[in-house]
Structure 1
Amino acid sequence: MSYETDRLRDRVAVELERARDRTVTLTEAVDDGDLVRQHSPLMSPLVWDLAHVGNQEELWLVRDVGGREPVRRDIDELYDAFQHPRRDRPALPLLGPAEARRYVSSVRDKVLDVLDRISLDGSPLVEQGFAFGMIVQHEQQHDETMLATHQLRAGAPALTAPPPPSSAGAVAGSVLIPAGPFTMGTSTEPWALDNERPAHRVEVAAFHIDRAPVTNGQYAAFIADRGYDDPRWWSADGWAHRQAAGLTAPQHWQRDGDGWAATTFGRTARVVDDAPVVHVCYYEAEAYAAWAGKRLPTEAEWEKAARFDAATGRSRRYPWGDDDPAANHANLGQRHLQPAPVGAYPAGATPEGVHQMIGDVWEWTSTDFRGYPGFVAFPYREYSEVFFGPDYKVLRGGSFGTDASACRGTFRNWDYPIRRQIFSGFRCARDA
């Protein structure tokens, strides 16, 4: 067994444990009544997410990679996300909290045994530990979903975290990204998912992109200028949704004297003016951008601004370079339960001075979610391909609730343009 293989096994084990520790934190923070309760029809009960991550781990790592006997074949249908809409899941005969905990623990024991014995090269599914990395990312993605469920639950606060760092200096204005091609996507990132592949050259016209996400203070100015009441700023679909949903401000905002307050994980406080606005849908972002005389960036523009190194002509893994994210680079991993003020992570900025493209808030782009040229579904169509089309918009960059294992310069998220329970914000762009 080689030194490199040992290191890979160790890394996989560490990442599996980190994901599980976070799952435990999110599920142990509340009592069993909260675990089985549905806090919003948009979200599953937390206990469903708990058993679901175990079931996916069993399907892929115990049965498929490991070739072992099933742990609980009888529950496969209950935890198939495509079989039951979220709103219907509380009515299913789900595993109770104690049984779900025993189940995921039993699955993990078998997975660690598989990890000790399996070869991590050969088939594409196990090459460089891909299947294990896929499951790590799957659990971390559900952890972020569970964090969003915590944001929607009523009652006393259940989660705590220190505040994010303060801004290291004002960040304003935009930067010019020159015209030209760049390499978008990846063919070399070992744990990249199918929709990030393959790497391909994209020609992008010159454009300006804001150095920071739109802040609460900037968004409040849009509201004060009656932006929600003026159809000039809204697309036809956006205006129809604004009226039907009665949108008047970001989700969780409420008036507070002459300003705004927001409720965040059970605590209500004045919004931080220089922190990125969060919990806005695509249509709200689109309307603000039009009001500001700008637009949302395309996905290719966003990625070029985040990754392209004009000095070398290559695409970096992250805005700051190729090193994995450290605590001084980005607000990731639920270390803080809110976005950080703009300028709080100067070490994470691009060489051109574009800040916080990783972490803090998912950023809406104007691009529909589709496969790249040469896309091949792997290892199953339901991860990406079934979502391709005009119904979903791409979000990029991750949020304060996204783990570093599930966030890269190439990582793609997607959702309906009406969604805002997710940790979504945006930045603006304009033509050069």
Structure 2
Amino acid sequence: MTVFGELDTETLRDRVARQLTRSRARSTALTDAVDDEDLIRQHSKLMSPLVWDYAHIGNQEELWLVRDVGGREPVREDIDNMYDAFQNARADRPALPLLSPTETRSYVREVRDKVMDVLASTKLEGRKLVENAFAFGMIVQHEQQHNETMLATHQLRKGDPVLHAPLPPAPPGPVVDKGILVPAGPFTMGTSVEPWALDNERPAHQVHVDAFVIDKYPVTNGMYLEFVDAGGYDQQQWWSEEGWAYRQKASLVAPRFWVRDGDRWLRDCFGVVEPLVLDEPVVHVCYHEAEAFAAWAGKRLPTEVEWEKAARFDPATGRSRRYPWGDEDPGPEHANLGQAHLRPARIGAYPLGESPLGVAQLIGDVWEWTSGDFHPYPGFVAFPYREYSEVFFGPDYRMLRGGSFGADAAACRGTFRNWDYAIRRQIFSGFRLARDAGPEERLLDEQR
């Protein structure tokens, strides 16, 4: 495991600089892929214009790294309110006097130049915000999170495809999906040692989990198609009251971006309409759809605690790993991350990414809905500002874990927590199933 606190200052600075550069290269690619007219257009009321996201990335970088950490004079103090996400709803942002694409590129470039100067001169110790370069890591994660948001905007845009990437790796051999028994007992959830972990991931704490069974792989297009073909969207008994009301209001009949073509379903993948790949994890389903499918299949969604135990718990040592495969940072052999591929990988594609218990593809591919709402861990302390997590706590948000093909490794780990409204479908969300352990399985667990 790479522990930032054990790195000398120059090595840490180099690591930060590489992460900042990598994140900016992705932001640039996502915005350079389209013309200026596309950048300023709102492709969906659910999303900001791409040019707003890009300037917002620069503005947050200026606020935290140039002004706060660096103590420098503001670059564009006059635009702070315009790029404050809490002051301006997404639907209203196109009406703002936004910076033009040319002005935006100039602004983010000027901010980044100053940030590199701040990085070179700042002692990365003594103050909580800069200890282990936390503020820089927070900004890297913020940019990568917005990159995933911009990628979702690209999925929503109309027109010829502009993004291209190779296919994910194929499974190296036959694939058998199965339920995996996760033993009863305590495990350590969250973290107190991950240097760039955000406040809602902290602190580490012991949680007892009863024995349960979780599917080895996420639910696939083929499995979900069976639910669609069986009339699952028309049968109220599978849906919660809230979910059924939304299904009717939104006229849901299939996952978002599935396209009906006679007697078959196709999928619109970043402007390419293609046949469903049946053994890919289903993507673009909301919490209500996931919950209804689980009921139809005679199972349920895992709780957030169950998901994390399945992903991190090592029964041989009793400790919780950083990632399912171990403590090393993700590599391309472990998971489908960082927009390297523009789709989930087929199940079985990443055997080296399995958890000690044998649960696969927990990181990358699709964010996985879990049951329960967004709440703080015992001992939670908001840092460095309440608006990152605390204002979202409560029953309005459902939890997603694991990361998607659009999430970056810098903003995705075994403890990382994502949340959204239960109705959200434009995000790269899927799910896997779980169930309570049966009597024979509990007995087997006790005999271990």
The yes-or-no answer on 1:138 pairing with 2:138 is no
Contact 2:313 2:356 in 1 (8 A): no
Quick one: distance in 1 between partners of 2:28 and 2:427? 21
- Read off the aligned partner of 2:17 and give its amino acid letter: A
Contact 1:171 1:342 in 2 (8 A): no
Q: Give the equivalent residue in structure 1 for 2:285.
A: 280
Q: CA RMSD in A?
A: 0.8
Matches within 5 A, 1:290-309: 290-309=295-314
Quick one: distance in 1 between partners of 2:152 and 2:381? 31
The yes-or-no answer on 1:35 pairing with 2:71 is no
Quick one: distance in 1 between partners of 2:347 and 2:358? 12
Contact 1:333 1:400 in 2 (8 A): yes
Q: Give the equivalent residue in structure 1 for 2:259.
A: 254
Q: Give the equivalent residue in structure 1 for 2:194.
A: 189
Matches within 5 A, 1:95-244: 95-168=99-172, 169-244=174-249
Contact 1:366 1:394 in 2 (8 A): yes
Corresponding residue SS for 1:283:
helix
Cα deviation digits, residues 181-232 of structure 1 (max 9, x gap): 0000000000000000000000001000000000000000001111001111
Tell me the matched-pair count.
Answer: 431
Quick one: distance in 1 between partners of 2:176 and 2:68? 49
The yes-or-no answer on 1:334 pairing with 2:339 is yes
Q: Give the equivalent residue in structure 1 for 2:87.
A: 83
Shift of 1:37: 0.1
- Read off the aligned partner of 1:354 and give its amino acid letter: V
Aligned match for 1:66, one of 66, 70, 73: 70
- Read off the aligned partner of 2:32 and give its amino acid letter: E
Contact 2:182 2:213 in 1 (8 A): yes
Shift of 1:259: 2.6
- Read off the aligned partner of 1:240 and give its amino acid letter: A
Contact 1:256 1:270 in 2 (8 A): no
Cα deviation digits, residues 5-55 of structure 1 (max 9, x gap): 111000000000000000000000000000000000000000000000000
- Read off the aligned partner of 2:294 and give its amino acid letter: A
Quick one: distance in 1 between partners of 2:25 and 2:81? 26
Contact 1:308 1:316 in 2 (8 A): yes
Quick one: distance in 1 between partners of 2:176 and 2:14? 40
Contact 1:394 1:415 in 2 (8 A): yes
The yes-or-no answer on 1:44 pairing with 2:81 is no
Cα deviation digits, residues 325-364 of structure 1 (max 9, x gap): 0000000000000000000000001122111000000000
Quick one: distance in 2 between partners of 1:277 and 1:157? 21
Cα deviation digits, residues 119-165 of structure 1 (max 9, x gap): 00111100000000000000000000000000000000010000111
**Where in structure 1 are there 5+ consecutive unaligned residues?**
none
Aligned match for 1:268, one of 273, 279, 294: 273
Contact 1:40 1:152 in 2 (8 A): yes
Q: Give the equivalent residue in structure 1 for 2:419.
A: 414
Q: Give the equivalent residue in structure 1 for 2:446.
A: none
Quick one: distance in 2 between partners of 1:413 and 1:420? 14
Contact 1:133 1:191 in 2 (8 A): yes
Shift of 1:113: 0.1
- Read off the aligned partner of 1:143 and give its amino acid letter: N
| TM-score for the superposition, normalised by structure 1 | 0.99
Corresponding residue SS for 1:325:
coil
Shift of 1:3: 6.6
The yes-or-no answer on 1:364 pairing with 2:369 is yes
Task: Identify which range, 36-45 or 343-352, moves more after superposition.
Answer: 343-352
Q: Give the equivalent residue in structure 1 for 2:444.
A: none
Quick one: distance in 2 between partners of 1:304 and 1:106? 44
Quick one: distance in 2 between partners of 1:245 and 1:69? 48
Corresponding residue SS for 1:367:
strand
Corresponding residue SS for 2:8:
helix
| TM-score for the superposition, normalised by structure 2 | 0.95
Between the two proteins, what is the percent identity of the paired residues? Answer: 72
Q: Give the equivalent residue in structure 1 for 2:442.
A: none
Contact 1:58 1:107 in 2 (8 A): yes
Corresponding residue SS for 1:209:
strand
- Read off the aligned partner of 1:49 and give its amino acid letter: D
Quick one: distance in 2 between partners of 1:180 and 1:224? 40
The yes-or-no answer on 1:431 pairing with 2:428 is no
Q: Give the equivalent residue in structure 2 for 1:343.
A: 348
Shift of 1:278: 0.1
